[in-house]
Amino acid sequence: MIEAEISPIEDIIREAVEGRPFILVDADDRENEGDIIIPAQFATPAQISFMACHARGLICLAITQERSAELKLRPMAPRNQSGYGTAFTVSIEAKEGVTTGISAHDRARTIAVAVDPTKGSDDLVTPGHVFPLTARDGGVLVRAGHTEAAVDISRLAGLTPAGVICEIMNDDGTMSRLPDLRVFAARHGLKIGTIADLIAYRRSSEQLVEKMASAPFQSHFCPSPMTVHVYRNKIDGGEHVALVKGEIRPDEDTLVRVHQVDLTTDVLGWNTAAPDYLRRALRFISDHSGPGALVLVRDPDPESISRRVAGGRREYHEKNANRDYGIGAQILIDLGVQQMTLLTSSKAKLAALQGFGLTINGRTELRENRPDSPLRILPDF
């Protein structure tokens, strides 16, 4: 059986420039799926029909936050409970030039209207048969998803930053994994690439964080002297903190914990988690014979506190764990980390970290110390 080889991102971008569809695969610890993607401006009825007949998944339109705001698209749900934070908006339809809206022609027409800069919210109606997805600003360097990848590829190709995406399914209705996707790509003459390679491609010339300040730091919870570094996210202006013990060398293993700050637990001590796990993380790093780094990443969700309170801390974390690790990865790279052991209880493989040039050599478990608590996955990598 013929299988397609993984193509470099440069080849994928050329396919986009020429208006040809391609496949992008995400990490095997994330959705572990492949989507067929085409720049939105090239989404003809024939391309939509191909996706519907051969890929079989949900046909969606990935757009930027700016375009979503221009079209006045509100979220599909007021509280996003999607396991991967997929930012669905209300479904749409072109106001004119369509019939029932479901045909390949009608969906192509709706997509064309949605990405036409001369069109606005008055040219669309809701609900409809096209499902917009809003990409995170910063693309795959912030969130390693197909939504962001589709927008990134179109932008890198010099096209309108929008893409039509559709998950690929097998004949029996199961999701196609990499071996299936390589056969599918060869059968239909499509190139196949990976989101990890797209991350690496963008990271070679782009940096979304910048160091704002550094100073010696001594913590009450850690006897070892440390250095505190403050980083700024260039996308939203948010600041993140890294505490470093010792001298980090690229060829030497570093003990690392990347932690998404949770006010309800870290400050208020919500009893669904051990109240001292940050202290224990610092003690782990302090007792470690080699270098260590604790990266505290601000939650990008402006409503994270209310969502945690309304839905419960554990529910919120279980639905958002590892959703966005690009910022933490870029901070580690700036600190000089390449080889690392993760201080974590998470079992996720985080294969997309390879795109950032990071290698996970091992894991050291950080457990909650309450006897009545099972092993919990704490909010980190």
Q: Residues forming the annotated binding site?
A: 30-31, 35, 143-147
**Residue from 149, 135, 142 nearest 33 by CA:** 149
Distance CA(161)–CA(159), nearest Å, equals 6
Residues placed in the known binding site for D-ribulose 5-phosphate: 30-31, 35, 143-147
| Residues 6+ positions from 101 with CB-CB distance below 8 Å | 93, 94, 107, 110, 128, 129
Instruction: Classify residue 183 as exposed, middle or buried by CB count within 10 Å of its CB (0-12, 13-18, 19+).
Output: middle
Give the C-alpha distances (Å, rounded to integers) separating 58 from 26, 52, 183, 261.
Answer: 17, 8, 21, 34
Distance CA(346)–CA(324), nearest Å, equals 14
Do 63 and 89 contact (CB within 8 A), yes or no?
Answer: no
DSSP codes, 306-321: HHHHHH-HHHHHHHHT
Q: Look up residue 255 and give its two tokens.
A: 């003990």
Distance CA(71)–CA(68), nearest Å, equals 5
Q: How many CB atoms lie within 10 A of CB 241?
A: 18
Residues placed in the known binding site for Mg(2+): 31, 146
Q: How many CB atoms lie within 10 A of CB 18?
A: 10
Do 193 and 7 contact (CB within 8 A), yes or no?
Answer: yes
Compute CA 238 distance to the chain's CA centroid, rounded to the nearest angstrom.
Answer: 18
Do 291 and 237 contact (CB within 8 A), yes or no?
Answer: no
CA quadruple 17, 19, 20, 23: dihedral sign = positive
Phi (first) and psi of residue 214, to 5 degrees: -145, 150
Q: Would residue 314 be called left, alpha or beta, if left means φ above 0 and alpha means ψ between -120 and 50 degrees?
A: alpha
